[in-house]
Structure 1
Amino acid sequence: MPLALFEDHHWSNFSPLTLTRATFDVKVGPKTLFEEFSYSNNIPDVLLVRKYLEGITAERHSECYINPNVIDADTLFVNGLLHPASLDLARLANISHTFAITSGNRLLVARVSKKSAEYLQRCIETGKSANLKTLGVEKSTDTQAAEGLLSDPWDLIRVLENALEMQTAAEQSSDLSNARVLGKHAVVAEGATIEDNTVLDARTGGIFIGPGAYISQSRIVGPAYIDSYTQVKQFSIIEKSYVGRNCRIAGEIEHSIISDYANKAHDGFLGHSYVGEWVNLGAMTTTSDLKMTYGKIRIHGRDTGLDKLGSFFADMSKTSIGTLVYSGRRIGVSSHLHGLVAGDVPSFTIYGKGIGARNVELELASAIDTQRKVMPRRGQHMSKAYEQMMKEIFLLTRNDRKSTSVRKAKFSV
């Protein structure tokens, strides 16, 4: 049974995180949902994504067919924001007729005719919602309680602790005689270096530290996952968080996701936040994650249901020294932040309002040149697909900058 993961129109809810990647490539704790499918031995054969993400998705998943011209008639379509643990794929594979499982206006799982598959793929490639009635299936089931389905970016923070617990619970403890270990949950350090007097507090959950990681004298509170080749500087505090591969980390991090190749190499607080790849948080950058009233945090007028929520930093965004970011802010791709950030920041924007300067557009050539310099510092290089993706995002987000009065001018303080 061929398996196809697809993006639905809720990719826009997760923007700007999903401007640079398909929905199933967003980290949900230590793993993406694509990785969760692969981990459960259900490796997708086909990936259906927005048209401009074809090239970069093909680089990330060379083993899959990306937006193919022809899709096998027996293909099972699964929403890329749906966790595989909520599905009985073996049972679904045995259904011979066309069907659809939906939740409101969202398609969760389906087997459809060739004509309907072509229609569905066109909708996905343009990032638009598919009319479920147009699919014309023989049987449709609408489930209002869709467990394992992500709808908004704050869901990534809401499920983080559970995701960390699942990924660390199955590990077997290592011999860590040079560190002080508290609690009885598994503590694993596979080929990692941990300095003397580091405290690994596993009383509330397991801790995993990947190969090549270097942990200077610090405190890590589980459940926590530190991926391979990441360096944690002295006297850091990491609590109930995921830190990706090859990052540089310092200061205090609580209940947050930090993606691969990101820097938070100085003091400052990061709480209940999501940090994309290649992000650099300058010295003393601090996020707010709690209102003075202790009330629920709202984003664009919507109640997140969370009383603790930080901000969402898209790939390649950067903050200068002493940047302060209010709770619930969305920081766009390749944006540069200065001072107090009280509102959302569009992609490719130099945000100077917080220091009394004018917000201006970051030149595309400058953004590409900077990224080309940064990537070799982590042993990576900019591919043609990556550069083309940046160019596409710059065009896609120009109206966002225009609508918020971001001007084309030279930034000055």
Structure 2
Amino acid sequence: MTNLILFDDPTIRTALLPFTFTRPVAKCRVGILTIAEKWEKRLGTVPSYLTQDYLRVTFPQIAGTDNLYVNGALLATDALAEAVQQLAVGQSLVSADGQLLAIRTTEVFREQPVAGDDTVVAAGTVEMMTGLPSFLEHNGRQIRADFAFLTAGRQSQPITDPFTHCYGTENIFIEEGAVIRASILNAENGPIYIGRDARINEGSVVIGPFALGENSIVQWTSKMRANTSVGPNCKVGGEVGNTILFAYSAKQHDGYLGDSVIGEWCNLGADTNNSNLKNDYGNVKLYSYATGKLEDSGRMFCGLMMGDFTRAGISTMFNTGTVVGVSVNVFGGGFQPKHIPSFSWGGAADGIVGYRLEKALHVAGEAFKRRNLVFGEVEEQVLRAIFDKTRTDIAPS
């Protein structure tokens, strides 16, 4: 049996920080599914991962004598799935510009695989996650692609609420257990996918393409704009557009969140807002972990990039193209800095100090407890490793 192993390209992994501090590249969500789920469902096998040493305690590599290594940044299609399945042992699949997409081998790699001499060039368009702007560039198309893949040949559950009105009903798919109350769903310009046991509460307006993950909630009178993906076990409210929430995160209250990506276990306080457009209409600059500087994103619209376990106090204002690390507690008046390092505490008005590690671990544990989950030694070990890698000269609070 061939072992599916999704590998991190080190350059891409760095470009996708802060989200890849806490996960392999393939565990990032874009569209309805994570990249790993796109491959798992098409190839019919659960993948393992070739990733950073400190993440291997959570995401180990399971290899044998027949291994199919697939680039974890590669967005799966039916054609690509067929192409990697047809690789013979020793063959590599590469893009037109020579990027390694997959290799089937008897070797067990400990670092990024290298293509051999026997290569096959992938046909057609190849889409990959290459940096933070990729989330915003690909999300709408990936919602459409995932919707078509997940719903092919299946029948949607009916919407029985008499006070809910739908446009483009043929582009709406409702999984079992989902509840929709007195809302407007407009799928004329893109599909709407509502996951199992999800809920859309009274007075909400949802515009497709849109995806709501399993057990997630749209709070009442919310405005969900196009190209928005809400992962499983999230709670969203207010106005959200062209945004991804990975999982287990909450933005429940009024306030605008646009052209943004929010990791797992994040919480945005009431009336939190972000800017996604500069007053001069120029391209937004984003902090780069590779260069340590602000770099041109190539996008006119770009909002907030927030790593896991981060929370923002009420009425927090995030500047255009703000990058926030892992386990940050942001609060205070005024627009926040364009980059807030991991394990920091404070904001623009009051200054930023270091977040004591033990307190950060306690807060993470409490967040798990609120969802009836256990924050164990493995999760703690990963956060301790990130703390060691990202600690700065900021004095602890």
TM-score class, shorter-chain normalisation, is 0.7 to 0.9
RMSD: 2.4
Q: Aligned in 2, Cα 1:168/1:87: closer, same or farther, shift over 3 Å?
A: closer
Does the aligned pair in 2 maintain the 1:25–1:33 contact within 8 Å? Answer: yes
Task: Verify the 8 A CA contact 1:12 1:18 in the aligned structure 2.
Answer: yes
Q: Decide whether the 8 Å contact of 1:296 with 1:308 is kept in 2.
A: yes
Q: Which residue of 207, 212, 222 corresponds with 1:221?
A: 207
Pair 1:175–1:154, CA change in 2 (3 A): same
Give the alignment partner of residue 312 of structure 1, picking from 297, 300, 305. 305
The Cα of 1:280 is off from its aligned counterpart by 0.4
Look up the SS of the partner of 2:141 in the other structure: helix
Aligned equivalent of 1:83? 75
Tell me which moved more, 139-148 or 33-42. 139-148
Question: In the alignment, which residue of structure 1 is the partner of 2:274?
Answer: 287
Distance 1:200 1:145, change over 3 A: closer
TM-score by length of 1: 0.84
Report what 2:290 is aligned to.
Answer: none
Q: For 1:167 and 1:97, how far apart are their aligned partners in 2?
A: 31
TM-superposed CA distance for 1:96, in Å, is 4.2
Aligned to 1:158: 137
| Local SS of the residue matching 1:308 | coil
Cα pair 1:185 1:204 within 8 Å, conserved: no
Matched letter for residue 8 of structure 1: D
Aligned to 1:62: none
Contact in 1 for aligned 2:69/2:102 (Cα 8 Å): yes
* Other-structure match for 1:202: 187
**Aligned residue type for 2:39:** F
Instruction: Find the counterpart in structure 2 of residue 407 from structure 1.
Output: 395
Aligned positions of 1:390-405 closer than 5 A? 390-398=383-391, 401-402=392-393
TM-superposition CA deviations, 1:49-90 (whole Å, max 9, x none): 111111222xxxxxxxx235x642x32221111122162545
3-state SS in 1 of match to 2:58: helix
Q: Does 1:27 align with 2:29?
A: yes
2:55 corresponding residue in structure 1: 53
Superposed displacement of residue 15, structure 1: 0.7
1:224 and 1:56, CA in 2 relative to 1: closer, same or farther beyond 3 A? same
Inter-partner Cα distance in structure 1 for 2:216 and 2:84: 41
Letter of the aligned partner of 2:342 in structure 1? S
Gaps of 5+ in 2: 288-293
Task: Report deviation, 1:153.
Answer: 1.5
Hey, what does 1:127 align to over in structure 2? none
Match of 2:343 among 340, 348, 352: 348
2:380 is aligned to: 387
Tell me the CA shift for residue 108 of structure 1: 2.1
Helix, strand or coil: the match of 1:392? Answer: helix
Separation (CA, whole Å) in 2 of partners of 1:385 and 1:102: 36
Instruction: Give the Cα separation in 1 of the matches to 2:199 and 2:89.
Output: 52
The yes-or-no answer on 1:274 pairing with 2:261 is yes
2:250 corresponds, among 263, 285, 292, to 263
- Determine helix, strand or coil for the equivalent of 1:342: coil
Partner Cα separation in structure 2 for residue 143 and residue 299 of structure 1: 31
Q: Residue deviations 1:22-52, cap 9 Å, x none? A: 1000101211111001111342554211111
CA distance in 2, matches of 1:96, 1:208: 38
Measured at CA, do residues 145 and 379 of structure 1 come closer, stay the same or move farther in structure 2, by a change above 3 Å? same
**Which residue identity is paired with 1:229?**
N
Q: Please say which of residues 383-392 and 298-307 is displaced more in the overlay.
A: 298-307
1:111: how far off?
A: 3.5
- Whether the aligned pair in 1 keeps the contact of 2:307 and 2:327 (CA below 8 Å) is yes
The 2-side partners of 1:180 and 1:369 are apart by 44
Q: Are residues 1:375 and 2:368 paired? A: yes
Distance in 2 (CA, whole Å) between partners of 1:248 and 1:96 is 45
- Whether the 8 Å contact between 1:282 and 1:321 is mirrored in structure 2 is yes
After TM superposition, the score normalised by the length of structure 2 is 0.87
Would you say 1:67 and 2:50 are equivalent positions? no
Pick from 246, 269, 274 the counterpart of residue 233 of structure 2: 246
Instruction: Indicate whether 1:8 and 2:9 are aligned.
Output: yes
Moved more, 99-108 or 21-30: 99-108
In the superposition, relative to structure 1, how do residues 206 and 45 fare at CA in structure 2: closer, same or farther (>3 Å)? closer
Does the aligned pair in 2 maintain the 1:5–1:44 contact within 8 Å? no
Flag the 1:202–1:287 CA change in 2: closer, same or farther, 3 A.
same
- Deviation by residue 1:167-199 (Cα, 9 ceiling, x = unmatched): 334364443233111234422333222222x11
Cα–Cα, structure 1 residues 242 and 2, in superposed 2: closer, same or farther, change >3 Å? Answer: same
| Residues 1:235 and 1:380: Cα distance change in structure 2 (over 3 Å) | same
Q: Give yes or no for contact 1:205–1:222 (8 Å, CA) kept in 2.
A: yes
Task: Point out where structure 1 has 5 or more consecutive residues left out of the alignment.
Answer: 58-65, 125-129
> What's 2:45 paired with?
43
| 2:298 is aligned with 1:297 | no
Residue number among 167, 171, 188 corresponding to 1:182 in the alignment: 167
Mapped partners of 2:340, 2:124: distance in 1: 33
Whole-Å separation in 2 of the counterparts to 1:102 and 1:163: 20
SS at match of 1:82: coil
CA contact (8 A) 1:168 1:223 kept: no
AA of the residue aligned to 2:166: V
